Amino acid sequence: MTFPNEQYRHISEFADDYFQLLASATESLDRSALIEAATIVKRTFESGSTLFACGNGGSAAISNHLHCDHLKGVQTDTKLKPKVVSLSAGIETITAIANDISFEEVFIYQLKTLASSGDTLITISSSGDSENVVSACQWAKENGVTVIAMTGFSGGRSRKIADVCLHVEAQNYGIIEDVHQSIMHILAQFIRQEEMDARLINERKF
């Protein structure tokens, strides 16, 4: 069911329904897929390979936030030295590729330049069907780069291409993006606390 599917007159009622649907969306996430994603991301960091992320719009912001929390956050109090690149971050590069080639190429062009077999790509797309994201997924799979896709709605083509799909059952962009942001934080914070001295956990802020 889409949300909203009727006009609300009071924001408190809108918020109550939004939060209820958000809770349902978080419950829909396949925990076995989350475990698999965490294993892949941690292995990527431990091996010295690179974790790439990409997305459009609000998902680009999550991609950029992932860069911060995984590069800086994960290595705080751990021995891990994560190599993390957000393909959504460089507006100069993105606009140059979009202008000179096509917007569909903005992520795949960077991957062709930077990525190697053994790296990992996290795509963030509510629809799972953005052409630039799907192209990145396809190139990655064909070149030995593991693909983790965060999706919503029906999941689109990204859901089918990915090695692991973190799918959110929801029909509202805000709710899907809220859960995707939470997944990003969960992956970073879980790996960090797993690699920390257990005695430090209660003393640190996460």
Is residue 17 pLDDT above 90, yes or no? Answer: yes
pLDDT of residue 131: 97
Is residue 4 pLDDT above 90, yes or no? Answer: yes
pLDDT of residue 52: 98
Tens of pLDDT, residues 20-76: 999 999 999 999 999 999 999 999 999 999 999 999 999 999 999 999 999 999 999
Which pair of tokens denotes residue 172?
A: 């509202």
Residue 131 neighbours by CB under 8 Å, 6+ apart: 103, 104
pLDDT of residue 174: 98
Q: Between the CA atoms of 110, 113, 119 and 125, what dihedral angle is there, to the nearest 10 degrees?
A: 10
What's the distance, CA 39 to chain centroid?
Answer: 15
Do residues 158 and 129 touch, judged by C-beta distance below 8 A? yes
pLDDT of residue 200: 93
pLDDT of residue 92: 97
Tens of pLDDT, residues 73-96: 999 999 999 999 999 999 999 999
The percentage of the chain sitting over the pLDDT mark of 70, rounded to a whole number, equals 100
pLDDT of residue 140: 98
Q: What is the mean pLDDT of residues 134-144?
A: 98
Show the domains of the chain with their CATH numbers.
Answer: 31-198 (3.40.50.10490)
Is residue 110 pLDDT above 80, yes or no? Answer: yes
Percentage helix, strand, coil, to 5, in the chain? 55, 10, 30
- Could you tell me the pLDDT band of residue 111, with boundaries at 50, 70 and 90? very high
pLDDT of residue 1: 76
DSSP code, position 4: -
Q: How many other β-carbons are positioned within 10 Å of the β-carbon of residue 42? A: 18
